[in-house]
Amino acid sequence: MSDPINVLLVDDNPLVLSSFRQYFSTTSDITVVADAANGREALAELALHDIDVVLADIHMPTMDGPTLLEHINELDSPPIFVAVTAFDSDRTMRRILRLGGAGYVLKSEKPQILIDAIRSATDGGMVVSAPAMRRLVTNLRVDQPQRRVDPIDEALKLQTLTNAEKNVLVLLCQGMSNSEMAEELAYSESTIKKYVSNIISQFGATSRLNLVVKVLNADY
């Protein structure tokens, strides 16, 4: 059995910390080692514990999440950083991702999304909540230079995807979540997850976000 994933929770709301502890207590592979009320306290905890993942709020007094991430990046062996927030904004999301954050998750998400985000982050992936992902995809399209070919069409031609996987890729590039794709295509969520995993592998991507960026920013 592999070692548990050691997590540090960072949030200035005690109720949130308590709720998150409860979420992760239902798992056998994730352990909450410590918690902190702000970035400064988090840095002190990092000096005391062996932490794999920091799950941190963005808006906190004394030191906020993005500033904490900047300090974490200066450590010799920085833990993985996953941001969690109740106040979603494109500017903050882009800052977190630009600084190397492995996730950007809304507090309104179901507990399983947070659990999956921690697991995915330790596997080298990246998780972005569906609403934020949808906006990010839209921004990527807007930022594209005008082309004579559609990058998604070209990607579909270059990869040996099944028809079902092609349909999933198109919806992925629209920013849809697994549940939304399952409803749209009349598949189970487990089937959608399998297709997404296969597509990510074929494109040599590290996560669904990295896949979308690869497809939409590809130079064909």
Mean pLDDT of successive 10-residue stretches along the chain, which has 220 residues: 88 96 96 97 96 95 94 93 85 82 88 89 78 72 53 66 88 80 91 89 78 66
SS3 content of the chain, % helix, strand, coil (to 5): 50, 15, 35
Question: CATH top-level class for 5-128?
Answer: alpha beta
H/E segment holding residue 26: none
Look up residue 124 and give its two tokens. 């080298």
Site of tokens 């995993």: 197
Question: Quick one: pLDDT at residue 61?
Answer: 92
Of 50, 26, 203, nearest in space to 116 by CA: 26
Residues 117 and 96 sit within 8 Å (Cβ to Cβ): no
Question: Quick one: pLDDT at residue 24?
Answer: 97
Question: CATH top-level class for 135-216?
Answer: mainly alpha
C-alpha 198/C-alpha 172 separation (Å) is: 13
The DSSP 8-state label assigned to residue 78 in this structure reads P
Prediction pTM value? 0.72
State the span(s) of the chain assigned CATH 1.10.10.10.
135-216
User: Around Cβ 218, how many Cβ atoms within 10 Å?
Assistant: 13
Question: Quick one: pLDDT at residue 142?
Answer: 56
State the span(s) of the chain assigned CATH 3.40.50.2300.
5-128
For residue 137, the SS3 value is helix
